[in-house]
């Protein structure tokens, strides 16, 4: 069994393995980050650390509104980052046999897999792809 | 002013013997404790100049009690008491911050030499 | 993971030993009969060998073993030759390459051919047979040697020795002991304890203390008593930090006070005594601030770790150029944030190189001086060579199109010298013939500015040249100027700010497309921070808030929306990969939770230009 945290961006529902999520924070002030690439909406102060916030709507080419009141803070070995999403839903418990219903990997960006959850299609968000994208964007902004 | 000592040992016989040695030498035994927990409480309440701590006691052992006391009072002068066969325990105790040790069976002169030395150094 | 951990430790420590070796070699170069130095050198080689063998790095082991053998011969001869010193310096270079191999998971390069180049004059024995194991506690070496023997009747000799070792450690630092604490803890029961102690306490006083142990049969102090020598290995390791016992005591005292504070707060809470609670919190604030301040001190290292490398540079270069050049160092004890020292290493080597190569013709002195001015450190590299002729730079700037004729007429010497730091202004060849300086100065300047410092050049023909670096004391806590731009507050290190000003819109003049102002008889271009950060234009301001600063060797007036004020802040690095973004060198969280980013103007401009 796997626990997933579903969230909405635009009209699409994505999910992340709960194990990757450090915390979901609400109503944080996102401070502007001069010089950062456009998909970085700014940064929040998270337990005394400065954590950059990624505007997922912009990244995923949805119409960009304001960043939702909830941010998903991920802490992994590459360093902390927060995802600005439109909506965060309650955790779902996924049986292993419900995954991998997709034989062919979708061409669409940032999706690892699609899960059929009671008739609803939930895309498993490709975190690695995001990390690589951030890495290369920041490198471009570097040298 | 006489020095104030806290005696920690689960055996009444050992406590009596130590009390005797200390009082004869002009020390003031301000408390006796039978367990590690009692020792920690007594230390906080009485703030003795020195503690003699038996290493092998039921429930909380001497090393654990010693570490607990040193956590809050890093300068506490604690002398551990142990039987001859427990050298590795003594080593652990010293490594944990015990100032010195006494090996049972005690001799009065030996006990006093150790505690006076520890007091003079602290 | 475990192996990686040990490898990092090995690499850090081996690098430290190598630095020490270079330091000692430089000292021996001046005094080739210094016994302590030769002994210390032997010990360094011995240490490297021990570590390398444990880690099973065969070539590194082979080379250190060979060095140990040669140094053993030097020890017996009581001197070391100049040829040997040069060869050993080369050996340290090879060691560094070996460490690189190990760091990069490459196979270690072969050392046999290098070993074959060992000078012949020192001795004939260069075979690789095992040297006699040296008594780890010979009577030579620094510190006081203490030998203790217990009575045969002592009940628990192991624990007793452990207590004695602890007692001795109260007198100073135990450099080594046989058996060691660990060996004792493992249950080794020796018949004697040898301790080498570095202490300021007189021997007699130590003896008096030891006499209080009736368990001791014998207390002896074999060998001569050396004056405590300053430890030779002083360079910072990569990951480990040495901390003075004094500082450690501070921590312990603070911890004690914090515990008291905790009880005070608990009590106040229990009794609902708000006044007391308020006092307690105030006290806590003070303690935490103090603790923070002290913790940051741990990051401070002296410049001494650097001087070995610099004297090596002078030594090697002057030998290869057949010049007679002395290095004078003043103020090496000045302490700086280790990150700054690391950043400054290459620039300083570069500057010293320049001074030896181009500044001084055949003989002279390069002096390095460091001192502190409030919360800044100044490091000056000076030579007594031929100096820089401003006229030659002026001519060259004209030729290269860096200045137009009218600028060339009015430019001040200060700004003229700054041109030397412009990328592409000079190449090594031209510089040697013309101005006598300038190789890679753009690189040096960039490095200095990246840590929030500035570089000043000062020279006159025939009077040598002085290059001064002004850098902040610490990268972690710095004083910043906070400004507002496009509704957001941002900061820049105060060390980068020449002055703040507010000017009336009438004072702005235009020169083509560029807006300019007159500032202390200088014409400065006005540049808008909004424009650099690609924000929309602001409404016209009156007065116009300005930050006078220097970017890429030019003084500019940076237009901001508002000057907010100065503050001391704790700067965090940004998490990866965001730390690579140019233009922003970190951020800080203010007391109210507001995040302020630290602007790196230098790289913002570079980005804009590039």
Residues 6+ away with beta carbon under 8 Å from C46: C64, C68, C134
Q: What is the predicted pLDDT for the residue at B103?
A: 85
Number of structural domains chain B divides into: 1
Query: What CATH number is associated with residue C502?
Result: 2.40.50.180
C13 to each of C20, C133, C299, how far by Cα in Å? 11, 22, 18
Residues 6+ away with beta carbon under 8 Å from C26: C308, C311, C312, C315
Query: What CATH number is associated with residue B38?
Result: 3.40.50.2300
User: Mind listing the pLDDT tens digit for each residue in C339-395?
Assistant: 788 778 888 888 888 888 888 888 899 999 998 876 678 999 999 988 888 888 888
| Closest Cβ opposite residue C166 in set B87, B94, B113 | B94
Q: What is the predicted pLDDT for the residue at C122?
A: 44
Which value does ipTM take for this structure? 0.89
Query: What CATH number is associated with residue A79?
Result: 2.40.50.180
Q: Cβ B74–C256 below 8 Å, yes or no?
A: yes
Asked if residue A108 has pLDDT above 80, the reply is no
Residues of A in contact with C575 (CB under 8 A): 49-52, 79-81
Residue percentage of chain C with pLDDT more than 90 = 11
Instruction: Label residue A77 by pLDDT band (50, 70, 90).
Output: low
| Closest Cβ opposite residue A78 in set C485, C487, C576 | C576
Q: What is the predicted pLDDT for the residue at C124?
A: 36
Q: A71 in a domain, yes or no?
A: yes
Asked if residue C435 has pLDDT above 50, the reply is no
Find the mean pLDDT for residues C164-179: 85
Q: What is the predicted pLDDT for the residue at A32?
A: 87
Strand partners, C336: C301
User: Mind listing the pLDDT tens digit for each residue in C235-244?
Assistant: 333 446 667 7
- What's the rounded Cα separation, in Å, for the pair C35 and C41? 10
Give the 3-state DSSP-derived string for C189-215, with helices as H, strands as E and coil as C. CCCEEEEEEEECCCHHHHHHHHHCCCC
Q: What is the predicted pLDDT for the residue at C295?
A: 78
DSSP, collapsed to helix, strand or coil, labels residue C572 as: strand
Domain boundary (C439, C472, C505) is at C472
Residues of B in contact with C155 (CB under 8 A): 84, 103
Q: C448 in a domain, yes or no?
A: yes
B84 to each of B91, B122, C276, how far by Cα in Å? 12, 26, 51
Mean residue pLDDT of chain B comes to 88
Q: What is the predicted pLDDT for the residue at C410?
A: 81
Q: Cβ C594–A44 below 8 Å, yes or no?
A: no
**Mutation site for C-interface testing, chosen from A25, A27, A32, A34 by largest number of C Cβ within 10 Å:** A34
Mean residue pLDDT of chain A comes to 81
Asked if residue C443 has pLDDT above 70, the reply is yes
Q: C571 in a domain, yes or no?
A: yes
Number of structural domains chain C divides into: 5
Radius of gyration in angstroms for the set of CA atoms belonging to chain A, rounded to a whole number = 15
Do residues C151 and C285 both lie within one domain? no
What burial class does residue C540 get, using C-beta atoms within 10 Å of its C-beta: 0-12 exposed, 13-18 middle, 19+ buried? exposed
Asked if residue B108 has pLDDT above 50, the reply is yes
Strands C584-589 and C477-485: unpaired
Q: What is the predicted pLDDT for the residue at C203?
A: 85
Q: C125 in a domain, yes or no?
A: no
| Closest Cβ opposite residue C584 in set A29, A33, A48 | A33
Q: Cβ C581–A81 below 8 Å, yes or no?
A: no
Is the pLDDT higher at A12 or at A77? A12
Alpha carbon distance, N-terminus to C-terminus of chain C:
41
Residues of C in contact with A135 (CB under 8 A): 577
A15 to each of A8, A9, A91, C14, how far by Cα in Å? 8, 10, 9, 48
The answer to whether the peptide bond before residue C105 is cis (omega within 30 degrees of 0) is: no
Q: What is the predicted pLDDT for the residue at C238?
A: 43
Asked if residue C564 has pLDDT above 90, the reply is yes
pTM: 0.45
- Residue C415 in contact with residue C438, Cβ under 8 Å? no
Q: C228 in a domain, yes or no?
A: no
User: Mind listing the pLDDT tens digit for each residue in C115-149?
Assistant: 888 876 543 333 333 333 334 455 555 678 888 88
User: Mind listing the pLDDT tens digit for each residue in C155-171?
Assistant: 788 889 999 998 888 88
DSSP classification of residue C605: H
- What's the rounded Cα separation, in Å, for the pair A43 and C11? 36
Do residues C437 and C333 both lie within one domain? yes
- Residue C547 in contact with residue C541, Cβ under 8 Å? no
| Closest Cβ opposite residue B88 in set C187, C213, C255 | C187
User: Mind listing the pLDDT tens digit for each residue in B49-93?
Assistant: 999 999 888 778 889 999 999 988 888 999 999 876 677 889 989
Q: C458 in a domain, yes or no?
A: yes
Domain boundary (C78, C100, C116) is at C116
- What's the rounded Cα separation, in Å, for the pair C228 and C244? 16
Total Cβ atoms within 10 A of residue C77: 14
- What's the rounded Cα separation, in Å, for the pair B25 and B23? 5
C256 interface with B at CB cutoff 8 Å: yes
Find the mean pLDDT for residues B10-38: 89
Q: A106 in a domain, yes or no?
A: yes
- What's the rounded Cα separation, in Å, for the pair A33 and C534? 12
Largest CA distance in chain C: 98
- Residue C301 in contact with residue C345, Cβ under 8 Å? no
Do residues C515 and C596 both lie within one domain? yes
- Residue C338 in contact with residue C299, Cβ under 8 Å? yes
Q: Cβ C593–A40 below 8 Å, yes or no?
A: no
Q: Cβ C584–A36 below 8 Å, yes or no?
A: yes
Q: Cβ C486–A138 below 8 Å, yes or no?
A: no
Q: A143 in a domain, yes or no?
A: no
Closest Cα in chain B to C253 = B74
- What's the rounded Cα separation, in Å, for the pair A118 and A115? 9
Q: Which range marks the domain in which residue B72 is found?
A: 4-121
Residues of C in contact with B88 (CB under 8 A): 187
Q: Cβ C581–A36 below 8 Å, yes or no?
A: yes
Asked if residue C609 has pLDDT above 60, the reply is no
Q: C374 in a domain, yes or no?
A: yes
Residues of B in contact with C163 (CB under 8 A): 94, 99-101
Q: Which range marks the domain in which residue C185 is found?
A: 144-220
Q: What is the predicted pLDDT for the residue at C583?
A: 81
Q: What is the predicted pLDDT for the residue at C228?
A: 33
* Residue pairs between chains B and C whose CB atoms are closer than 8 Å: 42
CA angle C329-C330-C331, nearest 5°? Answer: 130
Q: Cβ C212–B113 below 8 Å, yes or no?
A: yes
Do residues C312 and C435 both lie within one domain? yes
Q: What is the predicted pLDDT for the residue at C476?
A: 65
Q: A68 in a domain, yes or no?
A: yes
Q: Cβ A48–C589 below 8 Å, yes or no?
A: yes
Asked if residue C554 has pLDDT above 90, the reply is no
User: Mind listing the pLDDT tens digit for each residue in C296-318?
Assistant: 777 778 888 788 778 888 888 88
Asked if residue B94 has pLDDT above 70, the reply is yes
- Residue C223 in contact with residue C39, Cβ under 8 Å? no
Q: Which range marks the domain in which residue A133 is found?
A: 2-137
Q: Cβ B87–C158 below 8 Å, yes or no?
A: yes
| Closest Cβ opposite residue C185 in set B84, B95, B103 | B95
Q: Mind telling me how many Å the CA of A121 is from chain C's nearest CA?
A: 32
Which C-chain residues 468-487 have CB contacts (< 8 A) with chain A? 485-487
Number of structural domains chain A divides into: 1
Q: Which of C134, C147, C205 is nearest to C179 (CA)?
A: C147
């Amino acid at each position: 069994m796997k626990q997933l945290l579903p969230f909405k961006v635009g009209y699409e529902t994505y999910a992340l393995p709960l194990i990757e999520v450090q915390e979901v924070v609400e109503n944080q002030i996102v401070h502007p980050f001069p010089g950062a690439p456009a998909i970085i909406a700014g940064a929040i102060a998270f337990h005394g650390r400065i954590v950059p916030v990624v505007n997922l709507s912009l990244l995923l080419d949805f119409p960009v509104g304001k960043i939702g009141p909830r941010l998903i803070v991920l802490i992994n070995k590459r360093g902390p980052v927060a995802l600005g999403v439109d909506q965060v839903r309650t955790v779902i418990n996924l049986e292993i046999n419900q995954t991998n219903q997709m034989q062919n990997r979708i061409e669409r960006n940032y999706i690892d897999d699609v899960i059929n959850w009671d008739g609803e299609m939930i895309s498993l968000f490709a975190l690695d792809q995001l990390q690589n994208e951030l890495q290369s964007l920041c490198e471009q902004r570097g040298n | 002013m006489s020095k104030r000592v806290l005696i920690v040992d689960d055996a009444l016989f050992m406590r009596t013997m130590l009390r005797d040695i200390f009082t004869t030498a002009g020390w003031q035994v301000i408390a006796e404790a039978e367990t590690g927990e009692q020792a920690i409480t007594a230390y906080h309440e009485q703030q003795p100049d020195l503690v003699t701590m038996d290493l092998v006691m039921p429930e909380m052992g001497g090393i654990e009690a010693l570490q607990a006391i040193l956590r809050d009072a890093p300068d506490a002068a604690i002398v551990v008491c142990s039987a001859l066969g427990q050298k590795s325990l003594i080593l652990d105790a010293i490594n944990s911050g015990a100032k010195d040790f006494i090996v049972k069976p005690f001799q009065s002169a030996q006990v006093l030499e150790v505690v006076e030395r520890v007091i003079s150094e602290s | 993971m475990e192996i990686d951990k040990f490898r990092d430790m090995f690499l850090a420590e081996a690098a430290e030993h190598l630095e020490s070796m270079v330091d000692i070699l430089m000292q021996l170069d001046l005094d080739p009969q210094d016994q302590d130095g030769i002994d210390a050198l032997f010990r360094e080689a011995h240490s490297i060998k021990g570590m390398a063998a444990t880690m099973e790095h065969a070539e590194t082991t082979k080379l250190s073993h060979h060095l140990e053998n040669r140094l053993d011969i030097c020890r017996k001869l009581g001197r070391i030759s100049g040829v040997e010193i040069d060869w050993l310096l080369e050996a340290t270079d090879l060691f560094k390459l070996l460490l690189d191999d190990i760091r990069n998971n490459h196979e270690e390069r072969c050392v046999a051919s290098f070993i074959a180049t060992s000078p012949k004059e020192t001795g004939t024995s260069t075979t690789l047979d095992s040297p006699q194991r040296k008594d780890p506690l010979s009577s030579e070496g620094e510190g006081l040697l203490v030998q203790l023997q217990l009575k045969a009747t002592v009940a628990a000799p192991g624990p007793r020795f452990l207590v004695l070792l602890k007692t001795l450690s109260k007198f100073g630092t135990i450099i080594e002991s046989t058996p060691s604490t660990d060996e004792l803890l493992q249950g080794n029961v020796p018949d004697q304890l040898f301790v080498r102690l570095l202490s300021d306490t007189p021997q007699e006083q130590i003896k008096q203390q030891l006499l209080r142990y009736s368990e001791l049969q014998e207390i002896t102090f074999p060998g001569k008593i050396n004056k405590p020598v300053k430890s030779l290995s002083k360079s910072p390791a990569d990951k480990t930090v040495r901390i003075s016992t004094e500082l450690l005591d501070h921590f312990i005292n603070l911890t004690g006070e914090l515990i008291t504070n905790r009880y005070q707060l608990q009590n106040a809470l229990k009794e609902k005594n708000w006044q007391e609670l308020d006092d307690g919190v105030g006290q806590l604030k003070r303690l935490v601030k103090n603790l923070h301040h002290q913790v940051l001190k741990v990051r401070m290292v002296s410049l001494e770790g650097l001087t070995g490398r610099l004297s090596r540079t002078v030594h090697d270069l002057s030998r290869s150029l057949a010049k007679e050049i002395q290095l004078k160092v003043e103020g090496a004890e000045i302490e700086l944030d280790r990150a700054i020292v690391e950043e400054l290493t290459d620039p300083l080597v570069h500057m010293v190189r320049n001074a030896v190569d181009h500044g001084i013709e055949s003989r002279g002195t390069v002096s390095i001086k460091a001192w502190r001015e409030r919360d800044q450190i100044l490091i000056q590299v000076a030579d007594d060579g031929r100096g820089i002729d401003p006229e030659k730079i002026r001519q060259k700037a004209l030729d290269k199109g860096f200045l137009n004729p009218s600028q060339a007429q009015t430019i001040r010497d200060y700004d003229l010298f700054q041109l030397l730091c412009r990328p592409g202004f000079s190449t090594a060849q031209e510089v040697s013939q013309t101005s006598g300086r300038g190789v890679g100065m753009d690189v040096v300047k960039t490095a200095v500015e990246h840590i929030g410092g500035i570089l000043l050049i000062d020279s006159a023909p025939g009077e040598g040249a002085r290059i001064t670096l002004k850098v902040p004391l610490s990268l972690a806590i710095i004083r910043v100027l906070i400004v507002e731009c496009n509704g957001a507050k941002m900061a820049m290190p105060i060390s980068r700010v020449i002055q703040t000003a507010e000017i009336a819109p009438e004072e702005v003049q235009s020169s083509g497309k560029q807006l300019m102002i007159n500032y202390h008889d200088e014409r400065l271009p006005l540049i808008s921070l909004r424009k650099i950060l690609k924000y929309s234009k602001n409404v016209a301001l009156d007065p116009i808030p300005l930050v006078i600063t220097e970017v890429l060797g030019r003084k500019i007036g940076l237009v901001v929306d508002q000057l907010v004020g100065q503050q001391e802040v704790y700067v965090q690095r940004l998490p990866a990969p965001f730390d690579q973004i140019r233009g922003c060198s970190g951020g800080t969280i203010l007391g109210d939770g507001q995040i302020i980013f630290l602007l790196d103007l230098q790289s913002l401009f570079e980005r804009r230009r590039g």
